[in-house]
Structure 1
Amino acid sequence: MSMTATSPAAGAANDPLRTGHYRSFLGKTWALTKPYWQSEEKWQAWGLLLVIIALSLGGVYLSVWFNQWYNDFYNTLQNKDAPGFWLQISRFCPVALIYIVVAVANYYLSSMLQIRWRRWLTDVYFERWLKGRAYYLLEVSRDDTDNPDQRIAEDIDSFTTSTLSISLGLLSNLVSLFSFVFILWGLSGPLSFTVAGHAVSIPGYMVWVALLYAIAGSWLTHRVGRKLIKLNFDQQRYEANMRFAMVRARENSERIALYQGEEQEQRNLRQRFHAVWSNFWSIMRVQKNLTAFTSAYGQIAIIFPLVVAAPRYFGGAIQLGGLMQISSAFGQVQGALSWLVDSYSALARWRSVVDRLTTFNDRLDSIDALHQHSNRTQLQQGGGISIRDTQLRLPNEKVLLNIASLTLEPGQHTLINAPSGSGKSVLLRMLAGIWPWWTGQVQRPENVMFLPQLPYLPIDTLRQALAYPQAAEDFDDQRYQQVLQLCKLEPFIGMLDESRHWAQSMSPGEQQRVAIARALLKKPQWLFLDEATSALDIGSEQQLYQVLRQQLPDTTLVSIAHRTTLRAFHQQEWQLAEGRLQAIEPQALPV
């Protein structure tokens, strides 16, 4: 059976989050947004969105009602009309209650839509990150895409929240603008004056004043705050780098303690926090100027319409209610037109999040294309391993190993011996299908298992750690107890259902014994051991190899090791020398 590789172009066509061909910010945002609204959840999503939009429009309608109520209410105050005053209060209370209900429902349904969207998008990114071992290739290729975990955990949350709030806020402001601009036009009346003996009349002058005020404010806001986009982008990266360094120090606490590396770790953490601190100060300085401007802009907007409309009020053209209604309508129009001013900080953060997710997508797209090259190994139901005219390279294209011809037959236990850095571990990674930097012809069986030098132990029950990546229920208690006894892990038999961070609870030797126990559970056709017993003493290592030979008689062993004592458990030996793999005469008979 052959593993068929999908072409990069075909993979791109099926990728719901391919953003690389979009250049504009709106194009990138649309590429990130569109998939969810065309997904299997589209009907629920669109239904929620339409209800939220209806609630938002209802809120605008209530604002229009309140604007008219201002006129009636303040006129009763001016006229000292007590019955009219209480009538207006009685009209206000039920409408205010409806406004509260609408606001609460709007918040609840918006939050529901946001978390549903985030869950769907997170699942997609989990799949993209894990598919084709992108998580591994991002690391080994020394890629500059920093902290994918932070992009999935935090940036997706920020993206969904910001996209909904900004989009709905823009829609609400547009509806408010069209609703109140006609009210303000009718209330403000014409502005008449004489210029050089010519009478000039500007109808609806308050609308034009609001427009000029908002345009000037938006332009100045962008001039003051445009640096926030890059600064917010960098701040996310610096914060994530510091968190990663702290997690890494925690994961390697014992090694750091043995080296007495506390001072060096402190210097490293301080250096990373200095980047956070320095960039935050830059954000503070820009945000200070932006806050000063927007605060002044907002405060002036409170009195500005009163000052402009005051001549008509004092001239008797309008009453107090009309003045307050003009002030309210002007505030609504000016606020809608000044949406950029009020939302600039949020827009800057949103822009940085979109850029981070887009660069992450672009890198995942390139990794997907790279993965196609690692899918060229021919898989077969049985038989041996065949490598022909194969060249292995490093990610920087440096040639590491050339193999003209290598054949391993079933039942022929093989020891591969080579100095460190010669490429023997890369050879196993290529056979495992996780190393894409190679050319040639390779065939291997399907039922294989690879044991690295340091096994992965999930933070879970010991039962699940032994069965990984299969389900713990795939094996019974008797089998778990048996393999633990065979691997000299008897003290852990009573801990099968305990959930721990086993990598910190076990010594390196015990962790390698757990890996051997996994192999005994799964009984693969071929078992590759990459320095898988290097943390054990010679006697324990030989005991485990004897267990493997006895308990897995139908499994072919391929070991990478430096110890010559393992020759007794293998029937042939290969050695790497000067970038080439060659057979040497066996030094001992098989056990």
Structure 2
Amino acid sequence: MALRFARLTGGFWSGRTAARAWFWSLLLASAIILSVFANVTVNRWNGWFFDALEKRDSESALIAMAVFPVLVLIVAGLGVVILVSRETFQVHWRQWVTARLADSWVGQRRFFRLSLSGYEPANPEYRIADDVRWATEPVVDFAIGLLSAVITIITFIEILWKIGGSLTVEAGGTTVVIPAYLVLAAIVYAVLVSGLITIVGRKLPGLIAARNEGEARLRFSLMRIRDHGETIALSRTEAGERRAVARTYDSLVGRWLAMIRQRGRLTWITNGSGALVPVVPLLLAAPKYLSGDMSLGGVVQVAAAFVMVQNAFNWVLDNFMRIAEWLAAARRVNELADALERVDHEPPGEHLAIAPSADGLLHLEEVTLIDRDGRTLVADISCALTPGTTLHISGELGLGKAALIQAVAGLWPWGRGEIRLPEGAFVTAVPHKLHLSEGSLRAVLETGRTLPEEQLQTVLRRYGLSSLAPMLDETRDWDRELATGDRQRLALARAELEQPDIVLLDEATSAFDTDAALELLDHLRAARPEAIIIAFGQGAGFAEAATHRLLLKRAGGVVRMAARPAAADPAASPLAAPAHAGPAE
């Protein structure tokens, strides 16, 4: 898991972000190394000062007291450098990883394709927003801790070895010399405590991952109530929603309690060790001090060095909870990255072929669409449409309607047959209810291209949205402020500005009567006379006005292409482009 996460996030140190990444990395590492040596200097100052007190050497004590503020200033300054460089590095690294995952999720419409694939991990948006943070920030702290621990062990063990020396023990007439006994004691103590904490806490990462998953489910349940608030309020189904939230929270409470019990077991070890660490070196140094082999300053130095070495050795102990949380977050980030890579591969089983057409027509050739479980949604759809054609599709579509729209748009992977699009054709879909993210109308209409304000206002007025023309740059929650009819007008205006070659209308004018709907679609046809327009369930009035019609009926449990009624008279249709209309196949 750690290697997979390293491969996913290691690109921060290469490419355009390499200079920034290496600058902050090297600055942080240098500050940590200097900080450790500053701590060693403070340790030696302790020996100097307390030896001066023991000898009642006032001159040395005064000099030591004068030097101490300088040491404090250096240590504090290095702490500031470490803090700033660490947090700046964390912000930039998280920014890079978040941008990579978000771009991959949103790019090529993977967020939608992933939801169809069947292997979408739960709450991908939470993984990008929160899990990336919990998976990147601790790594920096871990690196700091490990580097500091290694240098601390090397430098302070030298102090224990040099000042502590060996211990001579006499028992039963036998003299036993234990060399570097304080070093051995520090190592044995650290191994015992770290081993205990690893054994007792081995289940903690899984419990933390389960808790995080429960938190995400609770947020999703609450967001669902907000997103469907009007429907829930009108239908008075809030009691069911309350029960659903209660069940979700009960499950979350159970996961929290399991984690708390595990942390309680760990606390026995962490608190016990915390109480023993300052006392153990004093007990070990006491015999040599009482025998006169060690000065008071030496005892203070040894005690401080033992604690420093112990803290370094017990790095796993001190960071076990954070390591467990990091493992849980890294696992969730890896799962999302793996799913995003997997969605670009060929879907399992039968899949629909998408290819360019040589004659400039849109061809649907024996198209059969199935879901990922192999159930047929629509079958045997065949037609050919020339530029300027308007096709109306009606009948028993059900779920097949959404699948057929997604297939023409290049999103539905499962099925048989072939869809051939005109070379370089741009396909846009106009939904029944346009989703508007919070922001400006300009951002909604420009769709990746910067357009003149006069053009945007003209299009809004053309589709009956003159009142919105002066508010192009106002940031509001337009999804809540605009009624369904206005959203549909805005969606048609947006479709015109996209300059599509193929337009898919998914009940895009359902909020209007026939005459008003035809008038709006006339505007779209006038702006894009060469576009192929395919309308799903637009109503009888639109069916009569279309140049071609396709009827789907259920036969033998499967929706199939039925016998086609006679085509409408193109000359009588306000949506027709007679010079380009062609017969359905």
Q: CA deviation at 1:404?
A: 6.1
> What is aligned with 1:365?
341
- Tell me the SS of whatever aligns to 2:214: helix
1:450 aligns with 2:426: no
Q: Is 1:396 paired with 2:373?
A: yes
**Distance in structure 2 (CA, Å) of the matches to 1:551 and 1:343:** 64
Structure-2 residue corresponding to 1:13: none
Residues 425-464 of structure 1: pairs in structure 2 closer than 5 A: 425-445=402-422, 446-464=425-443
Describe the shift of the 1:519–1:189 C-alpha distance in structure 2 as closer, same or farther (beyond 3 A).
closer
Contact 1:374 1:433 in 2 (8 A): no
Deviations 1:151-205 (A, max 9, x none): 1111222222111110121111011101111210122222223466543211011
For residues 123-173 of structure 1, the C-alpha deviation after alignment (integer angstroms, 9 at most, x for no partner) is 211221123322112223344501111111112222221111101211110
Higher alpha-carbon deviation: 150-159 or 398-407: 398-407
What secondary structure, in the 3-state scheme, does the structure 2 residue paired with 1:460 have? coil
Structure 1 contact 483–517 (Cα < 8 Å) conserved? yes
The percentage of aligned residue pairs carrying the same residue is 29
With over 3 angstroms needed to count, the CA separation of the structure-2 counterparts of 1:468 and 1:438, relative to structure 1, is farther
Distance 1:374 1:139 in 2: 17
**In the alignment, is the contact (CA less than 8 A) between 2:352 and 2:414 conserved in 1?**
no
Question: Does the CA-based 8 Å contact 1:414-1:572 persist in structure 2?
Answer: yes
* 1:264-308 deviation line (CA, Å, top 9, x unaligned): 222222322223322222222222332332122011001111011
- Would the alpha carbon gap of residues 144 and 41 (structure 1) be closer, same or farther in structure 2, given more than 3 Å must change? closer
- In 2, Cα distance between the equivalents of 1:133 and 1:519? 18
Aligned position for 2:2: 26
Structural mapping, 1:50-129, within 5 Å: 50-129=26-105
> 1:547–1:37: structure 2 CA closer, same or farther, 3 Å change rule?
closer
**Any idea what SS the aligned residue of 1:579 has?**
strand
Q: 1:484 aligns with which of 449, 460, 472?
A: 460
2:401 aligns with 424
In structure 2, the CA distance between the partners of 1:197 and 1:144, relative to structure 1 (3 Å rule), is: farther
Residue 436 of structure 2 contacts residue 479 of structure 2 at CA under 8 Å; is this kept in 1?
yes
**Cα distance in structure 2, aligned partners of 1:555 and 1:325:** 84
The alignment partner of 2:459 has SS state of helix
Q: Give the direction of change, closer, same or farther, for the CA distance of 1:147–1:105 in structure 2 (3 Å limit).
A: same
- 1:8 maps to which residue? none
Residues 1:519 and 2:495 are matched in the alignment: yes
Moved more, 373-382 or 123-132: 373-382
What corresponds to 1:170 in structure 2?
Answer: 146
CA–CA distance in structure 1, aligned partners of residues 441 and 2 of structure 2: 49
* Contact map agreement 1:375 1:433 (CA 8 A) in 2: no
Taking the aligned partners of 1:192 and 1:455, their CA distance within structure 2 comes to 84
Whether the aligned pair in 1 keeps the contact of 2:351 and 2:416 (CA below 8 Å) is: no
Q: How big is the alpha-carbon RMSD for the aligned residues of Structure 1 and Structure 2?
A: 2.4
1:469 alignment partner, one of 447, 471, 479: 447
1:405 aligned onto 2:382: yes
Aligned to 1:213: 189
Mapped to 2, the partners of 1:550 and 1:233 lie a distance apart of 56
Q: Is the 8 A contact 1:573 1:583 kept in 2?
A: no
Say which is worse superposed, 103-112 or 232-241, in terms of deviation.
232-241
Q: How does 1:257-296 map to 2 (within 5 A)?
A: 257-296=233-272
Pairing partner for 2:325 from 328, 345, 349: 349
Cα pair distance change 1:422/1:145, threshold 3 Å: closer
2-structure distance, mates of 1:270, 1:368:
38
Distance in structure 2 (CA, Å) of the matches to 1:163 and 1:80: 48
* Contact 1:545/1:569 (8 A) holds in 2: no
What secondary structure does 1:199 align onto? strand
Residue matched to 1:574: 550
Greater shift in the superposed pair: 393-402 or 95-104:
393-402
CA contact (8 A) 2:446 2:497 kept: no
Q: Is the 8 A contact 1:418 1:562 kept in 2?
A: no
| In structure 1, distance between residues paired with 2:13 and 2:458 | 52
| Equivalence for 1:311 | 287
Structure 1 CA distance for aligned equivalents of residues 199 and 86 of structure 2: 32
Structure 1's unaligned 5+ residue stretches are: 1-24
Q: Could you report, residue by residue, the CA deviation over 1:198-218 in whole angstroms, capped at 9, with x for unpaired residues?
A: 432110111111111111100
Q: TM-score, normalised by structure 1?
A: 0.89
Whether 2:52 is the aligned partner of 1:45: answer no
Does the aligned pair in 1 maintain the 2:9–2:97 contact within 8 Å? Answer: no
The separation in 2 between residues aligned to 1:575 and 1:308, in whole angstroms, is: 92
Separation of aligned partners in 2, 1:398 and 1:317 = 86
- Whole-Å separation in 2 of the counterparts to 1:338 and 1:545: 71
TM-score of the superposed pair, with normalisation by structure 2: 0.90
| Residues 444, 582 of structure 1: alpha-carbon distance in 2 compared, 3 angstrom cutoff | farther
1:436-455 C-alpha deviation (Å, 9 max, x unpaired) = 22343221130332212222
Distance 2:5 2:390 in 1: 55
Match of 1:506 among 457, 467, 482: 482
Question: Within the alignment, does 1:383 sit opposite 2:363 as a pair?
Answer: no
**Maintained 8 Å contact 1:567/1:587:** no
CA contact 1:121–1:156 (8 Å) conserved in 2: yes
| SS, match of residue 276 in structure 1 | helix
Counterpart CA distance in 2 for 1:49 and 1:226 is 31
Query: Is 1:28–1:354's contact at 8 Å kept on the other side of the alignment?
Result: no
- What secondary structure, in the 3-state scheme, does the structure 2 residue paired with 1:434 have? coil
Corresponding position of 2:582: none
User: Does the Cα contact within 8 Å between 1:528 and 1:559 map onto a contact in 2?
Assistant: yes
Corresponding residue to 1:584 among 558, 564, 571: 564
Write the deviation string for residues 3-23 of structure 1: whole angstroms up to 9, x where unpaired.
xxxxxxxxxxxxxxxxxxxxx
More off after superposition, 288-297 vs 56-65: 288-297
Instruction: Indicate whether 1:151 and 2:130 are aligned.
Output: no
